[in-house]
Amino acid sequence: MASYKALFHINESEKWNTVMANANNLVRDLGNGGVTVVVIANGEAVRDYAYGNEEFLSAMGETASQGVEFLACRNALVGNRIDAALLPRWVKVVPAAVTELVTRQADGYAYIKP
Amino acid sequence: MASYKALFHINESEKWNTVMANANNLVRDLGNGGVTVVVIANGEAVRDYAYGNEEFLSAMGETASQGVEFLACRNALVGNRIDAALLPRWVKVVPAAVTELVTRQADGYAYIKP
Amino acid sequence: MASYKALFHINESEKWNTVMANANNLVRDLGNGGVTVVVIANGEAVRDYAYGNEEFLSAMGETASQGVEFLACRNALVGNRIDAALLPRWVKVVPAAVTELVTRQADGYAYIKP
């Protein structure tokens, strides 16, 4: 069975619900072993990692427990004055989101911008 | 001659005019045999397949007759309570748009989000 | 060292600041020799090439001098009645942005839509 790789890019807070729904649909449709799903947030969208409400963060934690990876751009955290200590434990900080977007596509990830 | 493959992703109704113009430009520029063009709609954008006005649907029908494929996400149809019987005959329903976006990119399609 | 290729697509004027910041971050992070960066503008976003204010155009010129390429879609210039003679000297006009987006992804460019 082919194993796919998907990269969701989000830089606008208002798109989080769509990104979460799409990521969950993808995992449901292709199965845990059939796809690697990574969500990369930069711009204002990193704020929701730190300041999202309980319902949102709890749903994200559940999605993370399905194997979906959540990344935050350090440039965006600095630009939004967000202490990385405020992020949920399942969020990984990367130096630059754009670099991840480029290197992972070179590594075979499909790009999706909801 | 190289044959290219292009995937337009639309999830916002307001982007339909741009998607249609871009798809038409691409077919005009690369020619019918030079490119395979697929438009994938999810989110609210699937509504326009069912409820778009006559002018819009007639223009889409003409583009479809040029070989451009139009896909609708079943998850989005269900979420928007749209009966698939309402869709124009040239629209094909797929189980999950995100899965198409991932598997087709793995198959060499370029992704474009107007 | 791997050399990456990145394609930023912009069709909305309001996204220019983000595109410029992302392009600069990418060059800074991967270095001049580590990445080829191309910015493709179509739709209303081509207007800013011609009518952007001095600060914006000067910053773009600096980014261009770092090796980032800026392309303008001729279809969009015509649609916005912009004379190509108005464009900064570092902007190159291409016949159709969509064709560039497709052929360059086929050539290994990663697509990013800020």
Q: What is the pLDDT of residues A53-96, one digit of tens each?
A: 999 999 999 999 999 999 999 999 999 999 999 999 999 999 99
As a whole number, the mean pLDDT across chain A is 96
Q: How close is the nearest chain A Cα to the Cα of B61, in Å?
A: 26
pTM, to two decimals:
0.96
Residues in chain B with CB shorter than 8 Å from the CB of C106 are 2, 4, 108, 110
Higher-pLDDT residue of A32, C48? C48
Q: Is B95 helix (H, G, I), strand (E, B) or coil?
A: coil
What is the predicted pLDDT for the residue at B1? Answer: 52
Question: Would you call C14 exposed, middle or buried from its count of C-beta atoms within 10 A (0-12, 13-18, 19+)?
Answer: exposed
Percentage of residues in chain B having pLDDT higher than 70: 97
List residues in chain C touching B: CB distance below 8 A: 9, 11, 42-43, 75, 95-96, 98-99, 101-103, 105-106, 111, 113
For residues C43-54, average pLDDT: 98
Cβ contact, residue pair A35, B96, below 8 Å: no
Q: Who's near A81: CB < 8 A, 6+ residues apart?
A: none
Q: How close is the nearest chain A Cα to the Cα of C49, in Å?
A: 23
CA B16 to chain centre: 9
Q: Classify strands B4-10 and A35-41 as parallel, antiparallel or unpaired.
A: unpaired
Cβ contact, residue pair A98, C26, below 8 Å: yes
Please give the structure tokens belonging to residue C5: 């290729």
What is the predicted pLDDT for the residue at B33? Answer: 83
Round to whole Å and give the CA distance between C83 and C49: 11
What is the predicted pLDDT for the residue at B89? Answer: 97
For residues B87-100, average pLDDT: 98
Angle in degrees, CA B100, C104, B103, rounded to 5: 15
Question: Would you call C100 exposed, middle or buried from its count of C-beta atoms within 10 A (0-12, 13-18, 19+)?
Answer: buried
Round to whole Å and give the CA distance between C101 and C110: 10
What is the predicted pLDDT for the residue at A58? Answer: 98
What is the predicted pLDDT for the residue at A31? Answer: 83
Q: How close is the nearest chain A Cα to the Cα of B105, in Å?
A: 6
